[in-house]
Structure 1
Amino acid sequence: MNRAREVLVIGGSRYFGKRLITRLLAAGDRVTVLNRGSSAPPPGAAHLVADRDDEKALAEAVGARTFDVVIDQVCYTPRQAEIARRVFTGRTGRYVMTSTVEVYEHEDSPVPVPESAVDPAAVTVDLELPWDGPEFVEAHYGEGKRQAEAVFTGSGLPFASVRVAHVLGGGDDFTSRLEHYADRIRTGASIAAPPVAHPATYIHVEEIADFLFWAAHADFTGPVNAASHGLLTLDELCTAVAAQLPEGEVRFEASESAALSPFAFRRRYGMDNSRAEQLGFTFGDVRQWLPKAVAETLGKDH
């Protein structure tokens, strides 16, 4: 491991963000957490309070501080990226943005997609779209992340984006996606799925925390996919949930409507993780950790 670094984490107050901060502190890094003040960082981390959407407030909170690396957990729009680019240029040696598999939402590939399928340098940025509207941002999540990556790419900041697969595991998964299946399997209610449900790549909550910790101390730039080995089908996911609920029943209902169960995908969501492995990170296999992830989430991991 290299020397201790000055690390700023923007966001990171829950789920794998909390785990990342714990890992950084345990390694001896000097960690500063910046958020809107809704939650205090873990003991040992410094705390800056600012709304990252307010450039003046963000710049004042950062002040004259400089960082070896900034890890941005909550950049969802190109406007947020533009503000961060202006504030942190010249103040950090490396900028790591947590991105998403959703940047590939228009890539329906029969094989896991590599990073080159979406080149941030070729993405058009439109700052005039209503990026201040929460409903618009939620409905254009993948597009917001694509354009945010594009803003940082070629900006002069040494920039890397971590395209995160669907995250599972932990007793603090705030998305309630596995609970959706548990509720239906427990009661025998039907699970809404497309006539053909395609597989996807996933990553365990501890593994993505490990990955971001590794990325913070690496020096690569550009996008990198973060996903465990193996594609998981909807049937396999439900079978794993049902194994924790032996009194339940898995019942699928084919649906053409837009209201599908979580992870019931009409298109493929597979990411090629070979670039990350070539850079030196070793992933686990989704089928090895899936039972543990389900047990953790359903509170059955004793």
Structure 2
Amino acid sequence: MQRICVIGGSRYFGKLLVQRSLEAGHRVTVVNRGSAPPPPGAEHLVVDRDDEAALTAALGGRTFDVVVDQVCYTPVQAAIAVRVFRDRTARYVMTSTIEVYDPATVAPAPATPGVPVAEERVDPAGWRVRLDLPWHDPAYLEAHYAEGKRQAEAVFTREGPFAFASVRSAHVLGGGDQEFTGRLAHYVERVGRGEEIAVHREEQPSVFIHYAELAGLLAWAATGTGFTGPLNACSDGLLDVTGLTAVVAAASGVLPVHRTVAPGEQAGPFSFDRFYAMSNRRAKELGFAFSRTADWLPAVAAEAVAASAAPAS
């Protein structure tokens, strides 16, 4: 039994992480702003993680074996967490993102087309941190999502007194109506209505992960291994939008209609004109076994098609 603190954890794969941790016999404390209650059995602390004094007071004398941070988006939030949890935990796991590799927002050594990128391509140990940028501005944060994640990783890596690991998640699918990004629903609806799907002329594939698999990997990262540093999390197999919509079409019985966008024109979600699909080799070498996207995607697409067809309540 371990004492686990989950920051966030009120929905989607974070909620599933809490459920699975409780089922495994761990003591779980969920810290969030109270938007949704945690699963039964978890302790719930309602507090804004951006308010350092309030967070410190809410935690009181609690200590943990590991903290899993689902909602750290900026270096300012990371710096607060370092100070608050300095003497409260031995291990800290942050949920990060594939977007840290996006060449549209960062300029490390260019990726080799067709060769999935490894963790060292973006090394947080040497990444520049700017705490003075307007991270509190929602519009700025949305426009600089990937950079906020990179700088947050950098703060934890360089300043955290605990063992730190970041899980760089691929694009997450599954979970039916819990899939709050709406990106799969975008394609389900357009395919179902026979509307055009905007794609790049030379689509570059990406990587994906099922929400339940990501919850399992986070639980494994928290309690099943002591690795540190960044870790890519993605199911096996590359996939582009044409392949994705083909699976949606098979579930809906309607053929997709694709339209190639002009240079500079925005395409649909998951359509990329640049390659930065991740390699999951490090996680496999550490002992985690991934599924194949092609194995679980048809069921996810069928679930999304059924949800789209269901009458509104």
Distance 1:299 1:187, change over 3 A: closer
Structure 2 residue 188 is matched with structure 1 residue 182: yes
Write the distance in 2 (CA, Å) between the matches of 1:19 and 1:132: 29
Q: In the alignment, which residue of structure 1 is the partner of 2:297? A: 290
Q: Report Cα offsets for 1:245-294 as digits up to 9, x if no partner.
A: 11343333323345321101111131110110111100011111110121
Write the distance in 2 (CA, Å) between the matches of 1:205 and 1:116: 25
Normalising to structure 2: TM-score of the pair? 0.92
The answer to whether the Cα contact below 8 Å between 2:97 and 2:168 also exists between their aligned partners in 1 is: yes
Residue identity matched to 2:170: A
What pairs with 1:16-165 in structure 2 (closer than 5 Å)?
Answer: 16-106=13-103, 108-110=111-113, 111-155=115-159, 156-165=161-170
Gaps of 5+ in 1: none
- Provide the secondary structure at the position in 2 that maps to 1:259: coil
State the percentage of identical aligned residues: 56
Distance 1:151 1:257, change over 3 A: same
Match of 1:203 among 209, 228, 235: 209
Q: What's the Cα RMSD here?
A: 1.4
Write the distance in 2 (CA, Å) between the matches of 1:267 and 1:187: 29
Q: In the alignment, which residue of structure 1 is the partner of 2:249? A: 242
Write the distance in 2 (CA, Å) between the matches of 1:300 and 1:61: 39
Normalising to structure 1: TM-score of the pair? 0.95
Structure 2 residue 8 is matched with structure 1 residue 8: no
Q: Report Cα offsets for 1:16-48 as digits up to 9, x if no partner.
A: 111111100000000000001111111000001
Q: In the alignment, which residue of structure 1 is the partner of 2:278? A: 271
- Provide the secondary structure at the position in 1 that maps to 2:190: helix
Write the distance in 2 (CA, Å) between the matches of 1:33 and 1:254: 44
Write the distance in 2 (CA, Å) between the matches of 1:255 and 1:180: 20
The answer to whether the Cα contact below 8 Å between 2:196 and 2:256 also exists between their aligned partners in 1 is: no
The answer to whether the Cα contact below 8 Å between 1:164 and 1:226 also exists between their aligned partners in 2 is: yes
Residue 145 of structure 1 and its aligned partner are, at CA, apart by 0.2
Write the distance in 2 (CA, Å) between the matches of 1:35 and 1:151: 21
- Provide the secondary structure at the position in 1 that maps to 2:162: coil
- Provide the secondary structure at the position in 2 that maps to 1:154: helix
Gaps of 5+ in 2: 104-109, 309-313
- Provide the secondary structure at the position in 2 that maps to 1:232: coil
Structure 2 residue 167 is matched with structure 1 residue 170: no
